[in-house]
Amino acid sequence: MIACLSRGPKKKMCQQAVRTRLRDRGEQRWLRDRHLSGFASHGNGVFLYYHLILTDECNLCCSYCRAKSFDNSRSDEGCCGEIDDTLPVDVSYDLDTLYHFLQKDPVPTVTFYGGEPLLKADVIKRIMDNAPVQRFMIQTNGLLLDRLEPEYVNRFSTILVSVDGREALTDAHRGPGTYRKVMNNVKRVIANGFLGELIARMTVTEDTDIVEAVTHLAGNPDHSFSSIHWQLDADFSDDLSRTTFAPWVHGCYNPGIRVLVHDWVRQMCEQHTVPRWYPFLDTMGDLLNGRPSLLRCGSGHANYSIMTDGHISPCPIMIGMKKFYVGHISRTHPLDLSCVPVGGECTACPIRHFCGGRCLYTNIVHPWKGPERRVVCGTVENLHAALTGALPIVRSLIDQGAIATADFSCEKFNGCEIIP
């Protein structure tokens, strides 16, 4: 289990304890610097990403998100520590405090997050107009993209839009009419001149045929997504009553991943292009370069989340977990944010440098126990085996000049967890 981070030195801390804390902080900073230096340099020094939670409100009640939250609670309150249930629904701090915090980071990147961040389109525009930030991203369900004028939308370097596959599948989990509205907004965004990366962000459940869903989005007649990411709805809430997960993984999902990797490589061979399917793209890039990875989403070492009251969490789903807060925008320097490493059983895993730990939150809370959690780890092992099996072919294609190593480059910490 990960060790709890201190909220700060106590006034009467002994000198030895102070020296130990400074040593640990130095090691954490060194680890983060080393991890970032190979692929995330925008200049001198460490730079960070921030998920900015604008509101807890959402205009949907998706089956794997809001709807599930009414039926489940965190599994191990002892691991979570005290939960702050007084967090304001919307941003309560003065935006000037946020700007002052961000100004201390040489090159901050801000991702608007919720809830549904576009419910606060006015706040988004104020921040984009006034914050000392050059790069903005947004993670949205897509229903309200038409609320934001093109002059703002076109400044996003990345837009992640939630869509699960075909219309019937998306609407079954997100609500009738969701797919059509989202796709209309996607087409509007493109028509209005958006040139950044548009990522289809899928949530994958037991009724998902992963091959069919990814293939549909990649060749979607409404809009063919060149960038796709997916995340398993697994081990995030206390829903162990789902008895169909393991059979679905073994019979559908894992075989489907192997089929998709084969198809991904086939497109490299035939079209000399590398589809930007993030669970494959980022991991293959690291395999090619022999580069180990920390937690691939960046949580707790490169990607931090600013709560609606200004507290800073290592992960956007660790809302209210006060035990793990690493600071506050009013009093913390961005480059002094503590690293919160993945611990426990992940540290002894033979593919930990490939996986990075999958999820900081689940590593701490353990919503699933025993065999079901092991099945989730098995999906990562399956992904690793499929990609390492394809590695010789990919290297050969690079040697032939059909593709280039640079084709596997991608924006790190852009909201794609990478490991589903």
Per-residue pLDDT of the chain (420 residues; tens, 9 = 90+): 222 333 332 222 223 322 333 333 444 443 444 344 333 433 334 569 999 999 999 988 888 886 555 454 444 455 677 888 899 999 999 999 999 999 999 999 999 999 999 999 999 999 999 999 999 999 999 999 999 999 999 999 999 999 999 999 999 999 999 999 999 999 999 999 999 999 999 999 999 999 999 999 999 999 999 999 999 999 887 776 567 899 999 999 999 999 999 999 999 999 999 999 999 999 999 999 999 999 999 999 999 999 999 999 999 999 999 999 999 999 999 999 999 999 999 999 999 999 999 999 999 998 888 888 999 999 999 999 999 999 999 999 999 999 999 999 999 999 999 999
Indicate the pTM of the whole model: 0.88
Per the CB < 8 A criterion, the answer to whether 62 and 172 are in contact is no
Rounded Cα gap, residues 360 and 343, in angstroms: 9
Which amino acid appears at position 158 of this protein? T
Q: Rounded to an integer, what distance in angstroms lies between the CA atom of residue 87 and that of residue 311?
A: 10
Which class is 45-408 in CATH?
Answer: alpha beta
d(CA 282, CA 293): 10
Q: DSSP secondary-structure letter at 251?
A: I
Taking each continuous run of H as one helix and of E as one strand, the counts in the chain are 15, 10
Give the HSE-up count for residue 177: Cα atoms under 13 Å, Cβ half-sphere: 3
Q: Map out the domains of the chain as residue ranges.
A: 45-408
256 sits in which H/E element: helix 254-271
Report how far residue 254's alpha carbon sits from residue 378's, in angstroms, rounded to the nearest whole number.
9
